[in-house]
Amino acid sequence: MDILEQSGADPAPGFYPVPDHHKKPVERRWDGEVWLNEVRPAAEGTALPRYRRHLFHFLRNPGWKLFGIFVIALGAASALWATDRDAHWVHGIQLPVPLLSLISTIAVMSALVLFLSRRVGFDRIPADTRRSILKWGIASGVVGIAFALAIEIGVPAIFGAKPKDGAWPAIAGPAEETGKVLLPVILWLKGRFRLPREGYLLVVISASAFGVAESCEYAFNPDHWQPSRGFLEVMHPLLTGFIAAVAWQVAWKRGEIFTGAAIGAWAIAMFMHGLNDFIVLDGPDIKALGSISLITVLVMYLLQKHSARQLVPPDRVGSVSPRWRPVAPRTG
C-alpha cells in the first residue's frame, strides 16, 4: 500500500460547504466518516474553489511508474501473443505471457486504488490497518475465486452441462459478485473493517485480486486472451467496489450490513456482470470482449462514483472534479 500518498487526518465532524444540485454552495454535515443528509444554507459569500483540470495529472508520481509498467508489460505480452494468437495453450516464446499479463493487470489495479485514494482518502486509514486490509483483501480474492469456480463449474455439472453451454455463463455474475464480498461481509459481522472507507478498500482489493488472477488464467490460452484484458479486468473492482461503496455506508448509518440498498447494489452488479459474460462468451467473436466490457466498465464507474463521492472528506471537496463532489441531497 506504499503507493498511497500521505495527507494527514480528516477534518473534525461538523458542517462544511458542498454543492447542491444547482452547483450552488450549501453546508452539509460530515460525521467524520461520511456525509449525512443534514443540509443548511451556507453563509453569505461562501464559494467553492474552482476546479482546475490537468490533462496528465494522473501521471504524477507514482502514476507515471504504474503507467510505464503497464505499457511495457502489456506491450511485451501482446507481441508474444501475436506470434500464435490461435494457440490453445501457451508454448515456446509465449510462455512469459501469463506473467506479463499478471504484471500489467496489477499495475492497472494499483492505479485504480491510487485514483480512488486521491478522492476518498484511503491514505488516511492507519498504516497498520491498511496492511491488514491488504492481507485480508488478497485472501478474500482467493476465497472469491474458489467460491465462483465451485458455482460456475458445479451447478451446470449437476444438470449435465458445461460452464459455457447455453445460458450458463450468466451465472458468473451471481457467483463472482457473491464470492468477492463473501469474506468482507463475514469480517464485518465479526466487527472488522466496519468503517466505510476500510470496507470499501477491502472489497476493492478483493475484487482486484480476483481480476489479476483471471487475467493470468486467460493468458494461458492465447485463443481466449486479448491485449485489452490487461485493462478490462478493472471491471471487477468497479462492479464489486460499487457494492461496497453502497453497503458499507448504509451499514455505518444503520448498524446492519444486509440492507435494501446493499442488496439492490449487489443485484445491479450481478446483473451487469452476468449480462457482460453472457454476451461475450456466447458471441461468435472473442473480440466482442472489448466493446461490451468497455460499456460495462463505464456504467459501473459512473455508478460507483455516485456512491463513493459521499466518502470524499471536506478538505478535498475543492480539489476533486465537480462530478466527484458530494452533492447535497435535495431538500423540500
pTM for the structure as a whole: 0.92
Helices assigned H by DSSP within the chain: 63-81, 97-120, 127-158, 172-189, 196-219, 229-232, 235-254, 260-282, 288-308
Average pLDDT over residues 217-221: 93
Is residue 219 assigned to a domain?
yes
Give the alpha-carbon dihedral of 109, 121, 46, 305, to 10 degrees. Answer: 40
Average pLDDT over residues 47-75: 85
Of the pLDDT bands very low, low, confident and very high (cuts 50, 70, 90), residue 282 is: low
Range of the domain at 217: 14-324
Is the pLDDT score of 101 beyond 60?
A: yes
C-alpha cell at 329: 441531497
Q: 72-100 pLDDT, tens per residue?
A: 999 999 999 999 999 999 999 999 999 99
* Residue 47 DSSP code: -
Is residue 329 assigned to a domain?
no
What is the number of structural domains in the chain?
1
Contact 100, 72 (CB under 8 A): no
Is the pLDDT score of 61 beyond 90?
A: no
Contact 197, 121 (CB under 8 A): yes
Average pLDDT over residues 240-246: 98
Is residue 228 assigned to a domain?
yes
Is residue 50 assigned to a domain?
yes
Please state, in angstroms and rounded to a whole number, the distance separating the CA atoms of residues 76 and 281: 26
Is residue 5 assigned to a domain?
no
Is residue 332 assigned to a domain?
no
Is residue 9 assigned to a domain?
no
26 forms bridges with which residues in the sheet? 18, 41
Helices assigned H by DSSP within 159-287: 172-189, 196-219, 229-232, 235-254, 260-282
Is residue 8 assigned to a domain?
no
